[in-house]
Structure 1
Amino acid sequence: LDLTKPETFRDLSKPIGALNKERLDRLLTRYQEMPEPKFMYGSHYSSPGYVLFYLVRVAPEYMLCLQNGKFDHADRMFNSLAETWKNCLDGATDFKELIPEFYENDSSFLVNSLKLDLGKKQGGKMVEDVELPPWASGPDDFLQKSQEALESQYVSEHLHEWIDLVFGYKQKGSEAVAAHNVFHPLTYEGGVDLNSIMDPNEKVALLTQILEFGQTPKQLFTIPHPRRIIPKLKTLSRTSSHSVSITESPVSPNEESFEDLTEESITLAWNNIAKLKLDEQYKIHKEAITGIAVTWNGSSVFTTSQDSTLKMFSKESKTIQRSVSFSNMALSSCLILPGDTTVISSSWDNHIYFYSIAFGRQQDILMGHDDAVSKICWRDGRLYSASWDSTVKVWRCVPGETLSNKKHHFDLLAELEHDVSVNTIDLNAANTILASGTKEGTINVWDVPTATVLHQLPCHSGTVFDAAFSPDSRHLLSAGEDCCFKVIDVQTGMLISSVMADEPQRCFKWDGNTILSGSQSGELLIWDLLGGKVIERIKGHTGAVMSMWMNEQCNSVITGGEDKQLMFWKLQY
């Protein structure tokens, strides 16, 4: 049994009745010729008869009640897993699903321990224990492997599709028709108004029919269900500090791509993120540090502060090499443009400043907002600016020729309007979706090409301090003044997780599973998001951690604090 292969599993996006194409074609022909109300499946996937079919060995008395004091014909009993699966694939009226007992720890329903006389099959063989697949060494092993299958990577990635069919938006209506998921009308909640039936005999007959037919569960979701948050396949354990040796490696080192090695080093770093140690610290500003940007080679660190200065700090000489003030207002964030020639800073004076590293002077001012600029991002030649004027603006910057006096030229491509001040923004990996967090706790998810809101969610009470997409862009994490982390499924806009801290977390980095956050009190916290708990606390600043930078390999971190300190952290494996 290979649980890493997709072909091991059934297609979870289809109901049982649609798995066999030949049978489906026959059912569709019948469906098209049927008068209203049309249905594809006359019998259901879950009914008392089906549940007791599986449980007859542990609950024989209920089966006897249902069958008027007799067991079913021996050949129709639950004799073998393979036989039952074959009937579900080929049978004209057999569309049953499994029951929860297949994923629990009590295997007694698979064993005829009560020595019941369940009859003799056509071949003369008595019905005894359930015949298990060849990959199961016994009933307990079978349940163990079923549990592993349920928790496998493939099922985790596709279970939401099955939920859509059974509990979700494909359960009823046009989506159910398109998914070949239409059952007898009596099986649906509210399918018949029993109060309108006056004849008591007719009412009893109908009630009996509903009970015996099986019932579709209550429809819980009317939009697609989000995919599960899946922990990355950790190739390296949290304690391990060495990578796979060449003999164990499936490919020889020269076949391993640079991306694979980078991915492996990132996984290793996040597995060991609790081993982050303070390397150096420097007090370089007179007020809180609000932004950190590092040159590509790591030699120079630029910081912005509420003391209104942009400073360039040399890691090598451990000295401040530049200090620039654009106005007397606080600076809120900074970034370095590709090529390491220009630093951009956002200010509370409503402006964005371009500073030439090469020429050591201010190059340009972008006067694009009516209130403080709170955060800036740069992707693919575009500048994204968030402001307390309740907008996020998207700019195309056409750079000036460096050696002449020509300035940058700014084209406003889009203006994303909000009801209140915007405090933070982030973009997904493809630069197609932007998330914004406001001072009133709302998270907005925007489609960048069309400048339209996809989702608007009241996530936090109070300011959203930070928000960031997961590396695969499927989830969005936000941290707020209300001491909460919230996880949103980007596709559906559904809030899928909420984790409470004991104080606000001001900034963070995450890999989709683990969070490194900077707290209001100055500690760095490491969180297991799935477990919803802190796994490590690291002493740091003596005041809020205001800004955080992490390198691409995720093994070097710089934090800036309310305590005016710049702290350099390293992973020590």
Structure 2
Amino acid sequence: MDKSRFSMLLLEPGEIYFEDYSCIITQQNSLKSDYFREGRLKLCSKSLLFEPRDWTYPLIKLQFRDCVELCLVDSTERNNVIVVKVKQYAEMLEENILAPYKFFYEKKDFYIFFDFASAEECLGQMQQLLRASTLHAPEHNSMVATILHSRYMRMKFDPVMMDDFTEEIVCELQAEKISPLVRHQGKLALTPTTIYFQPFSNIESIPILKIKFKNLKRIYKRRFLLRQVGLEIYSTEESSVPHIYLTFENEYERNRIYQILEESPHVSLEKVHVEEMTLQWQNGVVSNYDYLTYLNCMADRSKNDLTQYPVFPWIIADYTSETIDFTKPETFRDLSKPMGALNPDRLEKLKERFHEMTDPKFLYGSHYSAPGLVLFYLVRKYPQYMLCLQNGRFDHPDRMFNSMKDVFNNCLKNMSDFKELVPEFYDVEAKGDFLVNKFEIDFGSRHDGTKVNDVALPPWAKSPEDFVCKLRDALESNYVSKHIHLWIDLIFGYKQRGEEAIKAENVFHHVCYEGSVDLECIYDMNDRHALEVQIMEFGQVPKQLFTKPHVRRISPQIAKPMCCEMNRSYRIECIDVIRLHKESVTCVVRQSERIISVGRDGTLKVYDAEKRKQIRSVALSPTPLSCCVMVDNNVVAVGAWDNEIYLYDVEYGRVVESFRAHDDSVSCLTWLHKERLLISGGCDGVVRVWGNIGKTGQALRGLKMEFDHDGKITCLTHRRRRHEVDVITGTSDGELFIWSLNNKGLIAKFSAHPSEITCVCFVLSADRIVTANTERDITVTDLSVLHSVYQKKLPDIGRSLYWDGNSLLWIGGGSGVLRQWNMLTVAQNAELNAHDGSINDIYFDEASNTLLTASEDRTVKVWKLTQAS
């Protein structure tokens, strides 16, 4: 068998493999011994491991800490001989069968006859490591690190294996390639086009790993073993190395590599911000599974790091029924509570203990995700990981993952079991392979005599594949979509730590939290090592992603008739340019073929789109006109800087009525057709609601209510919630106010921007609102949680917004650029240099399928929309 059976997983976690030697091993000082094995000896930081060439023989592991004597010996047959005398040793992979290691607690002498290497030189290295093994763990690690560093200094990156060895090396650093429980030391070299990683040892299947800059997709900074030194790199599928996880000596070197890659002209990364992904998930474009996967990634959780493995929630709470019904709430676990709080009786006992503790207190003495817990679930898929983690042993058969029902019940009742799940429970592509003993490993027998084999599934699951498919369906169900944000608050959000965590009964041991312990300030090596071990074994809380309540999902999934909306976009063509005003046009509306506009020249213009000529022109005010809305088929309400609102009859060409509406300029208007209410906002900081509109002379007596603000009113809109109507106002202070017309009171107010809000409109639902400000920000705010879920910096100020009622948002820029955004996919479809000045207003007329834009360049343009194929 040519392929090596040796793996770094046969060593202790974190143990370092240095090099190997061709040799013969015997148990007597003679090559004629009955015990005669040819093979290779692996020199590692804590052990010697011999791999026989004949794969029927087991590998032999000799720990330095078990060595009684290590010295050169004379032999009549060969000079190059070392004897290793041990008090115990282990054998593994006999006949290449994966099984618990066999431990022999007896003294034994092993004679090593080297084929080519100098026994004297090898002995010097071994004795160094033998001395290190007698030290306490911190001192041992320090001594091994010193040995390793001296070896690093002697090794240089070899350019022979590069695609072009004449390439300039931009940066060369010492690094480690990380995989679960294993660290491969090597040299990282960057050229202007390629990443090269050259391992120091010959354990890797290929001598050098290469990733082309052009193939890079995503790069993430990672926290590894409590330090900000990790870098996880993903490349395209056609790349020979689709993924690599690297760590560096310090944060500075990690950040230097990140910066070089990010700034390279050959690198084009897929950048999806948390806010953007959250909005896509909210819209139903991204599934719950993909969103949780993304959040885990953003929170430093990686499948390459068992101490920070991705965490997924228990969803189903029924593991006894013959069938499963996703329409019943009792089928599901309460996602608003951590696992430890689901059982009231157990929680009460935990709280009693909590109150008796001295600070820092904790409710739960074990974590919901730690290396041992992850491998508890995955031992059938990755048995070698468990053997590595537990020194060659599996768990006691009765403590293993034997039954879904038993594990869930244990997580509800056991005083020290609060674990969540791993993503494999919801991975339909893997078909539940982690539930099957596919390697036919002998895990032993339980107390009742039954052998540990496949995991026992609930009655409603026909097979592991069916089980995982049903769990995935449950994860994407309506119930979970409505409540999963509550679990996100606990794991990644504002209930993760602090006072909110205490209120949510979500408090773990303080060393689980990032930043709670600064290891760099602990100078006692023993104390520091003890803390590191505790944190690694106990589990780590994910990096906190949200400090405010997470938004709920609006749409569980995109309905079939709306699938076309996901990629909806329009081609627009200018079919008319209207030049009637002498100054900036501030607002425009369309009623049938009439296009009505007002401007800073104080005039109202009526244009016939069919005949392409002006049919009305009236100077309503000696001051600029700011806004206009149609209040019926013929009457338009106009707000002016002279504090007046004018009602103008387009049909008869006369002012029906005018009245002083505010103590300062009228800045914005909106019309509630069903209630026949006109709402006005003014620079006096007041919003007024007017009735009796259209009844001559009665407008002032029709004042229904008014709402006061600290800043000037810059924009307003409204929303309907069943039988209630709310008015939303934006101010020059950057604040948003929500007022109830039914209760005539303030529902909420919050700071949406640090500067003046320029425009506002609703998108996708009555809970999400888009605002723009004078600092070029576009923000999507969820009114159910009263904070931003998405923010984007534009090249220019957003002066006007219009929502088409489906998926598209039109943004009019301060420089005359018209942008088209798909708010389902949260991506810009197109942009057009529409005007020579600021686009002050956008109006969409569904009947004619035209978009109207009013601009500072004194024109109104009419755009014909054609849906792009």
TM-score, with normalisation over the residues of structure 1? 0.74
User: Partner residue of 1:258?
Assistant: none
Partners of 1:330 and 1:128 lie apart in 2 by 82
Which stretch of structure 1 is more off in the superposition, 89-98 or 27-36? 27-36
User: Partner residue of 1:525?
Assistant: 819
Query: Are the structure 2 counterparts of residues 84 and 206 from structure 1 closer, same or farther at C-alpha, using a change threshold of 3 Å?
Result: same
SS of 2:708's partner is strand
* Residues 87-166 of structure 1 mapped to structure 2, 5 A cutoff: 87-89=410-412, 91=414, 93-102=416-425, 109-110=434-435, 112-122=437-447, 124-130=449-455, 150=475, 154-166=479-491
Query: Are the structure 2 counterparts of residues 349 and 18 from structure 1 closer, same or farther at C-alpha, using a change threshold of 3 Å?
Result: same
SS of 2:411's partner is helix
Partners of 1:174 and 1:184 lie apart in 2 by 15
**2:585 is equivalent to residue 289 of structure 1:** yes
User: Partner residue of 2:241?
Assistant: none
**2:626 is equivalent to residue 332 of structure 1:** yes
Partners of 1:79 and 1:558 lie apart in 2 by 66
**2:733 is equivalent to residue 408 of structure 1:** no
Match of 2:397 among 70, 74, 86: 74
What per-residue deviation string (whole Å, max 9, x for no partner) do you get for residues 277-334 of structure 1? 6666644444443212345xx4544321233212334556655443221223322210
Q: CA offset at residue 167 of structure 1?
A: 3.3
Query: Are the structure 2 counterparts of residues 309 and 169 from structure 1 closer, same or farther at C-alpha, using a change threshold of 3 Å?
Result: same
* Residues 275-314 of structure 1 mapped to structure 2, 5 A cutoff: 282-295=578-591, 298=592, 300-314=594-608
What is the root-mean-square deviation in Å for CA atoms of aligned residues? Answer: 4.6
Q: CA offset at residue 413 of structure 1?
A: 1.9
* Residues 252-291 of structure 1 mapped to structure 2, 5 A cutoff: 272-274=568-570, 282-291=578-587
What per-residue deviation string (whole Å, max 9, x for no partner) do you get for residues 511-551 of structure 1? 58532334456564322345443224568556544322235
Kept after mapping to 2: 8 A contact 1:541/1:563: no
Query: Are the structure 2 counterparts of residues 293 and 190 from structure 1 closer, same or farther at C-alpha, using a change threshold of 3 Å?
Result: closer
Match of 1:499 among 754, 768, 792: 792
Kept after mapping to 2: 8 A contact 1:15/1:181: yes
Match of 2:738 among 434, 437, 447: 447
SS of 1:417's partner is coil
Q: Which runs of 5+ in 1 are unaligned?
A: 240-266
Matched AA of 1:445: L
What per-residue deviation string (whole Å, max 9, x for no partner) do you get for residues 208-254 of structure 1? 66654444446554432233575862432565xxxxxxxxxxxxxxx
Query: Are the structure 2 counterparts of residues 496 and 342 from structure 1 closer, same or farther at C-alpha, using a change threshold of 3 Å?
Result: same
**2:724 is equivalent to residue 434 of structure 1:** no
Q: CA offset at residue 346 of structure 1?
A: 1.8
Query: Are the structure 2 counterparts of residues 39 and 407 from structure 1 closer, same or farther at C-alpha, using a change threshold of 3 Å?
Result: closer
What per-residue deviation string (whole Å, max 9, x for no partner) do you get for residues 384-417 of structure 1? 4444x4x4312132537835x5553347622211
Match of 2:345 among 14, 20, 25: 25
Q: CA offset at residue 69 of structure 1?
A: 4.3
Q: CA offset at residue 348 of structure 1?
A: 3.4
Match of 2:765 among 472, 475, 479: 472
Q: CA offset at residue 174 of structure 1?
A: 5.8
User: Partner residue of 1:262?
Assistant: none
Matched AA of 1:120: S
Identical pairs, percent: 35
Matched AA of 1:546: N
What per-residue deviation string (whole Å, max 9, x for no partner) do you get for residues 148-168 of structure 1? 765666544433211222233
Match of 2:862 among 556, 562, 567: 567
Partners of 1:211 and 1:272 lie apart in 2 by 48
TM-score, with normalisation over the residues of structure 2? 0.51
Matched AA of 1:363: E
User: Partner residue of 1:36?
Assistant: 356
Q: Which has the higher contact order (CA 8 A, sep 6+)?
A: 1
User: Partner residue of 1:550?
Assistant: 844
Kept after mapping to 1: 8 A contact 2:511/2:517: yes
Partners of 2:418 and 2:799 lie apart in 1 by 52
User: Partner residue of 1:365?
Assistant: 659
Partners of 1:479 and 1:429 lie apart in 2 by 22
Matched AA of 1:366: R
User: Partner residue of 2:548?
Assistant: 223
User: Partner residue of 1:169?
Assistant: 494
SS of 2:695's partner is coil
Query: Are the structure 2 counterparts of residues 6 and 174 from structure 1 closer, same or farther at C-alpha, using a change threshold of 3 Å?
Result: farther
Q: Which runs of 5+ in 2 are unaligned?
A: 1-322
User: Partner residue of 1:260?
Assistant: none
Kept after mapping to 2: 8 A contact 1:386/1:425: yes
Query: Are the structure 2 counterparts of residues 425 and 218 from structure 1 closer, same or farther at C-alpha, using a change threshold of 3 Å?
Result: same
User: Partner residue of 1:261?
Assistant: none
Query: Are the structure 2 counterparts of residues 530 and 68 from structure 1 closer, same or farther at C-alpha, using a change threshold of 3 Å?
Result: same
